[in-house]
Amino acid sequence: MKLTARNTHRDIAYFYLGLIIAFSFSGIFLNHRQDWHPRRYKADIREFSVTPANQDSVNDEFIARFTEQQNIDDNLRRFAINGKVLRISYVNHDADIDLETGKGTLIHYKITPILGQMTILHVDTSKWWIYYSDVFGVAMLVIAITGMFIAKGENSFRKRGWKLALIGLIFPLIFLFLLS
């Protein structure tokens, strides 16, 4: 096989096709995680009742006692009081408790198979994945650069492509600087 921009572009793109598709989907999912999060779909919702409490009694001991009473085998992320409602957030559970009445709901979340795992690729920080992602980033640069030399004539990068590339560069900068 001859080493050309076209062959290099094609072969690297074929090699990373699966990861490109997974990153595309997981990026879309993560952009809309407030509406639907594939790593946290509601698997079970149950109501419960506890002894009413005041805001001053809500502390680490209160949360530990609640966690044990409700048989929640999960890691605590945080808890906060908003008005008269206590929200306790675990990795795979959320609990909302009305402190005045003691009534609450417990939501158990599960990961959507395959789709949820794809989003993990986008946020994973393990050392091996970071190295692989760096290689992937370099490969994307190679795909972008070799893609500039594939087309010839009127549709070449030199005649037409640079204008589209410039617009493609300016567009995210507008969002980055003007809209944030």
pLDDT of residue 30: 77
Measured between alpha carbons, how far is 72 from 106 in angstroms, rounded to an integer?
10
pLDDT of residue 118: 78
pLDDT greater than 90 at residue 6: no
Measured between alpha carbons, how far is 111 from 37 in angstroms, rounded to an integer?
9
Dump the DSSP string for 94-154: EEEEETTT-EEEEEEEEPPTTHHHHHHHHH---HHHHHHHHHHHHHHHHHHHHHTTT--GG
pLDDT of residue 129: 85
Coarse DSSP helix, strand, coil percentages of the chain, rounded to the nearest 5 percent:
50, 20, 30
Measured between alpha carbons, how far is 132 from 150 in angstroms, rounded to an integer?
27
pLDDT greater than 80 at residue 179: no
pLDDT of residue 124: 75
Q: Tell me, rounded to whole angstroms, the distance of Cα 32 from its chain centroid.
A: 9
pLDDT greater than 90 at residue 40: no
pLDDT of residue 82: 92
pLDDT greater than 90 at residue 139: yes
Model confidence band, residue 47 (pLDDT cutoffs 50, 70, 90): very high
pLDDT greater than 90 at residue 153: no
pLDDT greater than 90 at residue 120: no
- Region 19-37: mean pLDDT is 80
Q: Which range, 50-54, 93-97, 129-133, has the best average confidence (pLDDT)?
A: 93-97
pLDDT of residue 104: 94
Instruction: Tell me how crowded residue 66 is: count the other CB atoms within 10 A of its CB.
Output: 21
Arithmetic mean of pLDDT over the chain: 87
